[in-house]
């Protein structure tokens, strides 16, 4: 009997690989400077390493923005802001009151 699943599909059947994408972004740029996508079936080990590094960079940037927003929220609340108040104004009031 022939197996109809691809190697990638068989890997996805394992718990640790269920989120394996269909393609990855490569470091190469295509038209208009957009990153090129490469199908997982043709991705080399180096391609995976570069894609992983790019994702790690995105995660770091997202975590940094999330942390900054949390700090803004906290400072705005400490500055007396309520839900409808402008967060940046309240955070500035809080920071200036600390000096």
Does the structure show a pLDDT above 70 at 43? Answer: yes
Spatial distance between the Cα atoms of 6 and 25, rounded to a whole number of angstroms:
20
Give residue 4's pLDDT.
Answer: 62
Does the structure show a pLDDT above 60 at 34? Answer: yes
**Residue 82 has which token pair?**
């309520």
Which tens digit of pLDDT belongs to each residue from 9-27?
888 888 888 899 999 987 7
Taking residue 94's Cβ as centre, other Cβ atoms within 10 Å add up to: 17
Classified as helix, coil or strand, 27 is strand
Domain residue limits, the chain: 1-43, 45-99
Which tens digit of pLDDT belongs to each residue from 50-76?
999 989 999 999 999 999 999 999 999
Ramachandran angles phi, psi of 39, nearest 5°:
-60, 140
pTM of the model: 0.73
Give residue 31's pLDDT.
Answer: 82
Does the structure show a pLDDT above 70 at 2? Answer: no
Helix axes 87-97, 45-78, angle to 10 degrees: 70
């Amino acid at each position: 009997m022939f197996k109809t699943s691809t190697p990638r599909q068989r890997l996805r059947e394992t718990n640790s690989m269920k989120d394996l994408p269909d393609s990855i972004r490569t470091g190469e740029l295509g038209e208009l400077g957009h990153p090129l996508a490469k199908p997982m079936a043709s991705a080399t080990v180096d391609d995976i390493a570069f894609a992983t590094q790019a994702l790690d960079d995105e995660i770091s940037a997202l975590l940094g923005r999330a942390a900054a927003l949390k700090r803004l929220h906290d400072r705005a609340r400490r500055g007396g802001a309520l839900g409808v108040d402008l967060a940046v104004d309240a955070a500035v009031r809080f920071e200036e009151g600390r000096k």
